[in-house]
Amino acid sequence: EYRLADAVAAAGGVAPNGSTMRVYLARRTESGRVEVVEYRLDAFLKDGNLEQNPIVQEGDVVVVGEPKGLTAGAAIQVISAASILRTIFGN
């Protein structure tokens, strides 16, 4: 079982300008649409709230926001770029 905190840790952790208060997980649904959900990873790290540390599935994309936030539109742009790179270069 691989969770959001594991994915962030495997990527080297949160950058100095990043925030565990705004972590976005993008997942392609069965209909082919990309669903983006914002999680407060800090709630898991501080209080053990498992709802804020979901299981990460193959193909998911994780984006860590900044303290002042990452708008949903900006998150979708980053995820779209990651999706294109994944398509071009494979997994």
Average pLDDT (30-50) is 91
Q: How far apart are CA 37 and CA 47, in angstroms?
A: 20
Banded pLDDT at 55 (limits 50, 70, 90): very high
Share of the chain above pLDDT 90, in %: 42
Could you tell me which residue, 90 or 53, shows the higher pLDDT? 53
- Terminal alpha carbon distance of the chain: 19
Average pLDDT (71-86) is 68
Q: Are 73 and 36 in contact (CB under 8 A)?
A: no
SS3 17: coil
Q: Quote the mean pLDDT of the chain.
A: 84
Which domains occur in the chain, in start order?
4-89 (3.10.560)
Average pLDDT (53-78) is 80
Q: Decide: residue 18, CB within 10 A, 0-12 exposed, 13-18 middle, 19+ buried.
A: middle
